[in-house]
A and B are shown apart, each in its own frame.
Chain A
């Protein structure tokens, strides 16, 4: 019994050794199946159902191909405005995070002592250990009319801010929440620049600004592009932050309301969900050109 099973095992291993492709299939099949069934199939269903509609009287799905959903999204100014607002916010948050993250990551990678670098790492990563919701509610307490920020401004004799539940609040909170996702790839890119490159630039007469512009920035660009993928896509898909600290709809809020609303209009939600998908596809192609995937 034991002998037979051992010989079977041996035969199997021999077969695998003789056919390398079989090894590859056996190794990749489980993750590939997972990817196909749970990820790509879900995306395919999403895309297909975007072309269906629901009967306005019974609220049931009708499986008839139609462009109506996309027609509404393109021609109705409301949905266009919401889509542009979301994309615009994602761009603003990405730019803000890039501007804040770059000097911070530069200091971490090239100036700070190893000890200080560890401390800075902890500071960057620590917020990720607390709940995302808790951090958003903390910002509500800060930005409120009678909140921590206005209290501080009042003590300093400065004018009060009225940012609570405005787009400014959404912008601040998004920029804060996604900042670590920008700092880390930029840090990784900056750390990889050999000191000799900078010395070489100096030897060739490059001043600080020229060295920064012609050597450091191009080499850090893949890191910035990689970080921007996170900040951009996370902002594009988030609907909780706008509903908690803002007073306007984002793409995600419209999808949410169509899924959890009377009309239960899943086809429209699916159609609207293709907008961030398309935007992200274009974005990823551009980011790949900038070498973002080598910096991840």
Chain B
């Protein structure tokens, strides 16, 4: 018996040793080449998108016009999107600012010449070459939409109407609160602290020193007993608000729109402390099997009509300035409602998601990086 056992171990170790070299294969030097022209569409397109970004109302006409059959997978978080993109099985991704730079640094996405996208010239100036998708003048993707993370509440149960993120940290609605299950949530706590505890000196919620980071984590640890459920998907939060499990939550406008369409008594707002937010970019994988369809897709979603449809469906702001008129045609007043014509000051007031790194904006190198954010999040939830 003992002899057989030893032989098993030897064989297993041998098998393991054989597998080692295969896992160490790395990519060569130099980044992926820029897409400057397009050819014939390949007939298929595999996408990773946020929930609500690939609705039939604009995907079906796209397939009809280009022959590209779209298969989309929802990414639950930026982390998941980055990992999925690295499998090489997808052609393009709707990356938020906290994923796009990681993909560029990891050489997972191909640069694209914006001349390929006719509507690019109509984009708001801030989203033509934003730092989250353009590095040293090279465009690694085309901006899509942007918007704030909002505070959603049940209008029948939450009175008076909240106007501060503080309601998510106070015990008044204990057990009726839901927040995203996402390490980037630490930035929301930091943003709140930057206004309520100025002594901490938080300037940017993504660039936190150890002391500032600890304060944000402590705040979230205190919040934990108040939280009914850390939602993992937009559908989770919608369920919670529908069945009365939660009456207050950190949310995206998408959930509010979906719930309102289902006649649920909800509303959302940007509290007085301001909000974190996202600015999304369609990026093409460096291993894309259908690059031409991917370019066609980016052209398609940049057109004013699709930009307007998606803006209204998700509740976000289009990058294309020409979308505003169509939004108002589709749903009266929606352009103003989703800030389609808001001044640049509004854009600048939102703290857009970005990946926390060691290098702080002020030239110092003592900020907490994202690996620590992830560890802290596991710690907060446990």
Is there a chain A Cβ closer than 8 Å to B13's Cβ?
Answer: yes
* A-side contacts of B24, CB under 8 Å: 61, 63
- The one of A48, A59, A247 in contact with B227, judged by C-beta atoms closer than 8 angstroms, is A247
A162 within 8 A of B: yes
Whether B29 sits at the interface, judged by CB under 8 Å, is no
The answer on a CB contact under 8 Å between B79 and A260 is: yes
* CB neighbors of A among B234-250 (8 A): 239, 243-245
Given contacts A59-B106, A60-B26, A164-B228, contact A44 B15 (CB under 8 A): yes
Bound-complex Cα distance A81 to B381 (A): 11
Listed A/B pairs (11) with beta-carbon separation below 8 Å: A43-B12, A44-B13, A45-B19, A47-B16, A48-B20, A78-B378, A81-B382, A248-B382, A249-B382, A262-B78, A264-B86
A261–B374 CB distance below 8 A: yes
Asked if A147 and B382 sit within 8 Å, CB to CB, the answer is: no
B195 at the interface (CB under 8 A from A): no
- How many angstroms from the CA of A229 to the CA of B34 in the assembled complex? 56
In contact, A260 and B80 (Cβ under 8 angstroms): yes
Judge whether A133 is part of the interface by a CB distance below 8 angstroms: no
Q: Which of B13-65 contact A (CB under 8 A)?
A: 13, 15-16, 19-20, 23-24, 26
Is there a chain A Cβ closer than 8 Å to B170's Cβ?
Answer: no
Partner among B16, B244, B371, B374 whose Cβ is within 8 Å of the Cβ of A44? B16
Stretch at the interface among A1-9, A10-18, A34-42: A34-42
Q: Is the CB of A40 within 8 A of B8?
A: yes
In the complex, whether A254 has a CB less than 8 A from a CB of chain B is: yes
**How far apart are the CA atoms of A291 and B238 in the complex, in Å?**
49
Name the contact of B381 in the complex, choosing from A147, A249, A261 (C-beta under 8 A).
A249
Q: Is the CB of A146 within 8 A of B244?
A: yes
Contact present for B12 and A44 (CB under 8 Å): yes
Q: For the complex, give the distance between the alpha carbons of A36 and B7 in Å.
A: 12
B11 near A: Cβ within 8 Å? yes
Indicate if B370 sits at the interface (CB-CB under 8 A).
yes
Nearest first, the 3 A-B pairs at minimum CB distance are A41-B15, A44-B12, A44-B16
Q: What separation, in Å, do the CA atoms of A291 and B226 have in the docked complex?
A: 47
User: Quick check: is A201 within 8 A (CB to CB) of the other chain?
Assistant: no
Could you say which residues of chain B place their CB within 8 Å of the CB of A144? 239, 243-245
Cβ contact of A162, chosen from B175, B232, B355, cutoff 8 A: B175
**Bound state CA distance, A21 and B349, in angstroms?**
79
- Smallest beta-carbon distance B239→chain A, Å: 8
Q: Is B83 in the interface zone, CB < 8 Å from A?
A: yes
Once the chains bind, are B12 and A40 in contact (CB under 8 Å)?
yes
Select from chain A the residue with minimum beta-carbon distance to B375. Answer: A78
Answer whether residue A120 sits at the interface, using C-beta atoms and an 8 A cutoff: no
Task: Report yes or no: A45 in contact with B16, Cβ–Cβ below 8 A.
Answer: yes
Known: A45-B19, A82-B378, A262-B79. 7 other contacts (CB 8 A): A40-B8, A40-B11, A144-B243, A146-B245, A162-B175, A262-B78, A263-B371
> Counting CB contacts under 8 A, is B110 at the interface?
no
Q: 1/0 per residue A76-112: CB within 8 Å of B?
A: 0010011000000000000000000000000000000
The size class of the interface chain A forms with chain B is 35 or more
Q: How far is the CB of A100 from chain B (nearest CB, A)?
A: 28
How many interface residues does B have (CB within 8 Å)?
40
Please, how many angstroms separate the alpha-carbon atoms of A41 and B22 in the complex? 14
Q: Which residue of A lies closest to B8 (CB)?
A: A40
Complex contacts, B83 vs chain A, CB 8 Å: 259-262, 264
Does A283 count as interface, using CB distance less than 8 angstroms?
no
A41 lies within 8 A of B16 (CB): yes
Whether, in the assembled complex, B284 has its beta carbon less than 8 Å from a beta carbon of chain A, the answer is: no
Is B173 part of the binding interface, using a Cβ–Cβ cutoff of 8 Å?
no
Nearest B-chain residue to A85, judged by Cβ? B382
Q: Quick check: is A145 within 8 A (CB to CB) of the other chain?
A: yes
Q: Which residues of A lie under 8 Å from residue B244 when comparing CB positions? A: 144-146
- A257 adjacent to chain B (CB < 8 Å): yes
Residue-wise interface mask of B (271-285) relative to A, using a CB-CB cutoff of 8 A (1 in contact, 0 not) = 000000000000000
Give bound CA distance, A119 to B15, whole Å. 49
Query: Closest approach, in angstroms, between the C-beta of A32 and any C-beta of chain B?
Result: 10
Residue of B nearest to A263 (CB): B371
* A165, B86: Cβ atoms closer than 8 Å: no
B254 at the binding interface (Cβ < 8 Å): no
- Contact residues in A for B370 (Cβ distance below 8 Å): 262
What chain B residues lie within 8 Å of A36 (beta carbons)?
Answer: 11-12, 15
Q: Who on chain B is nearest to A41 by CB?
A: B15
Which partner residue on chain A sits nearest B357 by CB separation?
A57
Quick one: given A144-B244, A165-B245, A243-B232, are A257 and B378 in contact (CB under 8 Å)? yes
A249 and B374 alpha carbons, distance in the complex (Å): 13
Whether A263 contacts B15 by the Cβ 8 Å rule is: no
Annotate A43-56 by CB proximity to B: 1 below 8 A, 0 otherwise: 11101100000001
Interface residues in A120-159 by Cβ distance below 8 A to B read 140, 144-147
CB-based contact B378/A263 at 8 Å = no
**Which residues on the A side are within 8 Å of B19 (C-beta)?**
41, 45
Among A81, A140, A259, A261, find the residue whose CB has the most chain B CB atoms closer than 10 A.
Answer: A261
**Complex Cα gap A164–B230 (Å):** 12
Which of A78, A147, A247, A262 contacts B243 (CB under 8 A)?
A147
Contact A262 B102 (CB under 8 A): yes
**Distance in angstroms between the alpha carbons of A51 and B375 in the assembled complex:** 19
* CA of A164 to CA of B374, assembled, Å: 26
Whether B351 sits at the interface, judged by CB under 8 Å, is: no
Contact code string B338-379 (vs A, CB < 8 Å = 1, else 0): 000000000000000001000000000000011100110011
Known: A36-B15, A44-B13. A164 touches B245 (CB 8 A): yes
List of B residues within 8 angstroms of A59 by Cβ: 106
Question: B323 → chain A, closest Cβ, in Å?
Answer: 32
Residue numbers in A under 8 Å from B232 (CB-CB): 243
- Give the distance to chain A from B373, nearest Cβ to Cβ, in Å: 9
Q: Is B229 an interface residue (CB 8 A)?
A: yes
Nearest to B17 among chain A residues (CB) is A48
Asked if residues A249 and B16 are in contact (CB atoms below 8 Å), the reply is no
Residues of A within 8 A of B381 (CB): 247-249
